[in-house]
Amino acid sequence: MNSHLFPHIGKVIASTGSRHFPRMLHDLIRTQLAVDAMHIRQMRVEPVGRSAARNEPEAVKNPALLAETVFSELSTVAPADRAAECGPATISDASQLHLTRRKDGYRYVISVYRCPSQRFSAQERSLLQDISPVLLPMVEKHITALQPPAEHLQPSPEIVQQGLDTLRQRFHDRVRLLGLRLSNRETEVCVGLLAGRTAPELAEQLQLKVNTVESYLKRAAIKLGISGRHSLMRWMYSPEERATDAA
C-alpha cells in the first residue's frame, strides 16, 4: 500500500461514527480513482464462515439497513438539487464497482459509480481491490458505531439475576406482611409473572405444563385475595396499607 494513503486513512479512522465519515472515505477512494459517487450500506444476510471482499453487483438488490451516499463535486451522476432524492443505485447507466464484506450475519458494501457509461478499467478495479481490506473494516466499524448490536443493549445475566432476587425478596416481604404462606412453586410462578414472563415461558423454565402453571397462579391468587395476573401486578406495587386492607 502506498505510504501517501496513510494520512487519508488516519482521517477516515478518526471520523468513524460521525457524519464526516462518508466524505472522508469518499476522498480516500478518490486518491486512487476518479468516481462520481460513493455509496455505503449494511444489509442482513445469512451468516457465513468467512468474510469476503469482491465485486458483487447483486448486492444492490438487497434492502439496506443503513445507507449513506456521497456525490463528488460537479458530479454527472445526479444533479446537486436531486442528490437527496436520487441515490446512485437508482441510475442504471452508471458504471459501478462493488466491494463487499460478510461478517456475523451482515453484509457491508462499498459501491462507487460513474456516469454516463465511463467504464472502470481493469487497473482501476485492481486498485480498489487492493485497498478493500482497509476500506471495508472501516465501514463496518462506522456502521457498528451508529447502530450498536442489539445484544449490547441487553442487561447482563448477572444484572437480570440481581433484579429477580430483589423482586423475589420484595414478594416474600409482602406475603409475610399479610401473614400468608405460599408454596415454592406458587412463589416462583408469581415472581416469574411479575418479572414479565408468560405462562408458556414459565412452564418451560420450571419444566411444567402450562395448565399446571396456571393452577399455581390460581392457588396463589386465592391466598392473596386477588383475581389473576393483572391483579397480582396491582397488589405487588400498591401501597402496603392497601394490600393489607385487600386481604
Domains and CATH numbers, the chain: 3-151 (3.30.450), 155-246 (3.40.50.2300)
- Grid cell of 193 as nine digits: 409473572
- What average pLDDT does range 34-59 have in this prediction? 65
**pLDDT-derived band at 217, boundaries 50, 70, 90:** very high
**Of residues 2 and 196, more confidently modeled:** 196
Strand pairing partners for 37?
A: 71, 113
Rounded distance, CA 67 to CA 80, Å?
Answer: 18
**pLDDT-derived band at 92, boundaries 50, 70, 90:** very low
- What average pLDDT does range 185-198 have in this prediction? 89
**pLDDT-derived band at 185, boundaries 50, 70, 90:** very high
In angstroms, the Cα distances linking 236 to 114, 159, 162, 164 are 65, 21, 18, 14
Which residues, other chains included, contact 179 with Cβ-Cβ below 8 Å and sequence gap of 6+?
Answer: none
DSSP class of residue 77 equals S
Lowest mean pLDDT, pick from 55-59, 108-112, 123-127, 204-208: 55-59
Q: Are 243 and 175 in contact (CB under 8 A)?
A: no
Rounded distance, CA 106 to CA 46, Å?
Answer: 7
* Structure confidence at residue 16 (pLDDT): 86
* Structure confidence at residue 50 (pLDDT): 46
Max mean pLDDT among 9-18, 36-45, 177-186 falls in 177-186
Examine the pLDDT at 116 and tell me if it is beyond 80.
no
Examine the pLDDT at 223 and tell me if it is beyond 60.
yes
Q: Are 114 and 30 in contact (CB under 8 A)?
A: no
Examine the pLDDT at 226 and tell me if it is beyond 50.
yes
